[in-house]
DNA sequence: GCCAACGTTGGC
DNA sequence: GCCAACGTTGGC
């Protein structure tokens, strides 16, 4: 079991869009580091969903329901996507500002490498972010 | 809206 | 193989 965080501009694809469609192919990734993380995802892994730019907050929890396969939005075989589905919306979004103030979250790529769109989190980092959300697994 | 950070491209 | 130019992301 691994833990991940993915970013999306809500104007492009939001948590609400994910809930509406029930599941989605996490495609369009064109960065090798992010691509490598996608390839490492396993079915059942949890994925935190972050709204970048206009909101800058983690807004929900999703999970992986399909492992990496050829990204259908390109013929270029370098790129893959995975399938995810929503688990639960956060009762209270976790802001970037809050994350920056947590001593134990100082090393996550969200802060250190702001342009990476798919990143791994440790179990501890994941649990700090989802605590107080009353999420039932 | 600006711009820093950073990844990619292409000329040499 | 280096690096300048360029495009994109995302915080501010």
* Domain-wise residue ranges, chain A: 3-130
Q: How far is the CA of A31 from the C1' of B11 (A)?
A: 24
Q: Are A113 and A8 in contact (CB under 8 A)?
A: no
Residuewise pLDDT in 10s, chain A (137 residues): 999 999 999 999 999 999 999 999 999 999 999 999 999 999 999 999 999 999 999 999 999 999 999 999 988 889 999 999 999 999 999 999 999 999 999 999 999 898 999 999 999 999 999 997 877 66
pTM of the shown model:
0.94
* Fold for the domain defined by A3-130: ph1033 like fold (3.10.590)
Strand C positions within 7 A of protein Cβ atoms? 8-12
Q: What is the 3-state secondary structure (H, E, C) of A6-40?
A: EEECCCCCCHHHHHHHCCEEECCCCCHHHHHHHHC
Q: Are A52 and A8 in contact (CB under 8 A)?
A: yes
Closest CA to A117 of A21, A13, A2: A13
CA distance A66 to A9: 22
- Strands A46-51, A3-8: pairing is parallel
A100 touches strand B (CB under 7 A): no
């Amino acid at each position: 079991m691994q833990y991940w965080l993915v970013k999306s501009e809500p104007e492009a694809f939001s948590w609400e869009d994910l809930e509406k469609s029930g599941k989605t192919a996490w495609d369009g990734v064109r960065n090798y580091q992010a691509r490598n993380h996608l390839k490492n995802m396993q079915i059942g892994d949890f994925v935190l969903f972050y709204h970048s730019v206009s909101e800058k907050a983690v807004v929900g929890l999703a999970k992986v329901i399909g492992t990496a396969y050829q990204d259908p939005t390109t013929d270029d075989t370098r790129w893959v996507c995975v399938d995810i589905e929503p688990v639960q919306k956060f009762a209270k979004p976790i802001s970037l500002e809050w994350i920056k103030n947590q001593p134990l979250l100082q090393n996550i790529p969200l802060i250190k490498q702001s342009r990476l769109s798919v990143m791994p989190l440790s179990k501890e980092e994941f649990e700090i972010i989802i605590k107080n959300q009353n999420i039932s697994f």
